[in-house]
């Protein structure tokens, strides 16, 4: 595929995913070559979270924490969703592998690109709240499609369980980075 065609396809998929278009999620689920695109979507959304956090007068460390937390959290969330969705709460027609879940949930990060607007301090909190719900809705659609669920309810439960893991990862990262920052602050000698 030519570079410009690949970029066009990637952009169309991001837009479709952000619009919660089930057909877009079905497309990326079936396209094994879209795994790299899904990872790029997550990395871009994670960087957008970091840039958005930098606008909250939290500094560079907070931006790094936000970006790392978003990336690692997504990966853990996807793995938990795959395990729970295929092993604990599958429907009879559920057939999925980790790659399908990584692709669909990767594109579910597309609304996270909007978090870059958080660099404007007066928009940081409203944007964060709206995007959090938007990304959750995208994740539910992604999981429903990837796991071939007949309805949204089971996908919502599976995503809720995954969300708890995601939040746990982000809290743990925040605690670790906060402890490192506190130690570095305690060790520094004023000049």
This prediction's pTM: 0.85
Read off the pLDDT of residues 38-80 as tens digits, 9 standing for 90 and up.
Answer: 999 998 998 888 888 776 666 677 777 777 777 888 888 889 9
Note the pLDDT of residue 191: 46
One DSSP character per residue, 114-162 reads GGGGGGSGGGHHHHHHHHHHHHHHHHHHHHHHHTT-SSHHHHHHHHHHH
Domain ranges of the chain: 3-187
Does pLDDT of 146 surpass 90? yes
Q: What is the mean pLDDT of residues 126-146?
A: 95
Q: 3-state class of 27 per DSSP? A: helix
């Amino acid at each position: 595929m030519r570079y410009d065609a690949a970029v066009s396809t990637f952009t169309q998929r991001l837009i479709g995913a952000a619009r919660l278009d089930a057909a877009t999620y079905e497309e990326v689920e079936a396209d094994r070559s879209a795994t790299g695109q899904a990872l790029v979507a997550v990395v871009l959304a994670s960087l957008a979270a970091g840039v958005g956090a930098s606008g909250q007068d939290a500094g560079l460390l907070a931006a790094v924490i936000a970006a790392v937390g978003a990336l690692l959290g997504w990966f853990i969330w996807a793995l938990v969703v795959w395990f729970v969705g295929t092993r604990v709460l599958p429907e009879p027609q559920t057939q999925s592998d980790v790659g399908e879940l990584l692709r669909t949930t990767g594109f579910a990060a597309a609304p996270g690109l909007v978090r870059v607007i958080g660099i404007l301090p007066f928009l940081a909190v409203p944007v964060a709240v709206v995007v959090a719900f938007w990304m959750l809705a995208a994740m539910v659609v992604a999981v429903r499609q990837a796991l071939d669920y007949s309805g949204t309810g089971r996908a919502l439960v599976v995503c809720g369980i995954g969300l708890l893991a995601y939040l746990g990862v982000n809290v743990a990262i925040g605690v670790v980075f906060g402890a490192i920052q506190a130690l570095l602050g305690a060790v520094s000698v004023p000049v």
